[in-house]
Amino acid sequence: MRTLLALLFALGLTTSSTAQSNRLEPAKTYAVIAGVLEWESDTLSSFSKENRRDQGLYDRLLEMGIPAEQMSLLLGPEATNENMIAALDAIAQKAKGGSTLIFYYAGHGYPGSKGIYFASHDAAATIESPEGFWIGNIESIVKEKFKGDRILLFADCCFSGGLADIALRLKESGFRTASLTSSSLSNTSTGYWTFTCSLLDALGGRPLLDLDGNGKITLGEAAHDVRESMQLVESQNHGYSNSGVKGDFVLAEVDMTNKLGAAIPQPYALRQYMEVSGRGTRARAARIIDFREGMLGLEIQRYSKRDIIWKDPMELRTRDRPNLPHVPTYSKDLFPQALPDDIAEKTASVNGKYEGLLRKIEVRFDFLENGSFSDYGRWNAKQYKGHANLPPGYWVYVYPNWYIFGNQSNAKD
């Protein structure tokens, strides 16, 4: 049935009762919000709880009119792997036809045995502990339980761009899906709430994000603001994928009580990023939002909020866009072709440096942290990313496998 509806929609043959509104409708929106800033294990670094923006996102969705009973908020100790799966399952089952499902996570993200994992409160990025919430759970639960049509995936953590793969696979199953994340599939992310601050601005209808001045904040305009913030403020790539939800999808109406500042005199421009230097501190990026009495009003990102500072234009210089590597949106376009088995094993031996292959284990997503090759050296791990009973030895990564050798030869490299 879902495939038939997708075909009819593509052909423009759906009736008004079948076609979805091209905007976020609070009464038809369901959401799961999970945020973890501290973990049971001390192997994962914690973040300050000051003005936490995951709670702010939940509050914003309530203000927009999404009923509390259509949302699940899991913060801190509540956001265990089991609870995150259960909450997503319950909310997906509640949703009715024609509805939108929002999933959001803030915390740590990392590659694991099956792909990208989000660090639930009971997770730890070590060999002895659970890996956390596997993002593939989103795909399986949505396919099995969700009766709606649209999914919006958001995440504020390292490697969060892995959600683009989930969005693509859900599209292939007939769902309209989009992902917008603080990082790409292959990079880490800032410890600041920069991404979520941008998301809150979009959902709050901030006029600054209304690039075409039509009184609406679209997904594309939100993605533009995220891109500018992550690149120019945090010097990192973000993630954005359209898998059936186009950029003109309306997230919010512009809040007309939140007026834009005064006209910005040339050669400066509204939203332009400048560099602001403080005493004894490195230059920080800040964007122009106002002009008064010869002074530019600039918005600067703090840990979990954005402050306004006033500067003489002569004290500023334009913020240069960082030279960031191009990162494909989807993993299928990122991972290299694996070497033939015999060549891969020879490569892993590092020209005879290691001998006596004991074990070969596949950990495809370790490519994101190690590249195609890594000579890690001696390690006595007994478990690693879903693989157990591992022998002590010398570890070498040749995509997509780890090779564990028993001996290091005396021959020189």
pTM of the model: 0.88
Tens-digit pLDDT string for the chain (413 aa):
444 444 434 434 333 333 458 999 999 999 999 999 999 988 889 999 999 999 999 999 999 999 999 999 999 999 999 999 999 999 999 999 999 999 999 999 999 888 999 999 999 755 445 689 999 999 999 999 999 999 999 999 999 999 999 999 999 999 999 999 999 999 999 999 999 999 999 999 999 999 999 999 999 999 999 999 999 999 999 999 999 999 999 999 999 888 888 899 999 999 999 999 866 567 899 999 999 999 999 999 999 999 999 999 999 999 999 999 999 999 989 999 999 999 999 999 999 999 999 999 999 999 998 999 999 999 999 888 888 899 999 999 999 999 999 999 875 44
Query: What are the residue boundaries of the structural domains of the chain, listed by start?
Result: 335-408
Q: Tokens at residue 77, please?
A: 């100790």
pLDDT at position 413, please?
45
Largest CA distance in the chain: 75
Cis peptide before 400 (omega within 30 of 0): yes
CA-to-CA separations, 48 to 35, 60, 105, 189, 353, in angstroms, rounded: 12, 21, 16, 16, 45
Pairing assessment for the beta strands 284-292 and 306-311 based on DSSP bridges: unpaired
pLDDT at position 205, please?
97
pLDDT at position 6, please?
47
The terminus-to-terminus CA distance of the chain in angstroms comes to 61
pLDDT at position 281, please?
64
pLDDT at position 411, please?
52
8 Å CB contact between 70 and 214:
no
Query: Amino acid identity, residue 323?
Result: N
pLDDT at position 16, please?
34
Cis peptide before 267 (omega within 30 of 0): yes
pLDDT at position 130, please?
65
DSSP string covering 67-125? -GGGEEEEEGGG--HHHHHHHHHHHHHHPPTT-EEEEEEES-EEE-SSSEEE--TT--S
pLDDT at position 261, please?
81
8 Å CB contact between 237 and 187:
yes
The rounded distance, in Å, linking the Cα atoms of 299 and 142 is 38
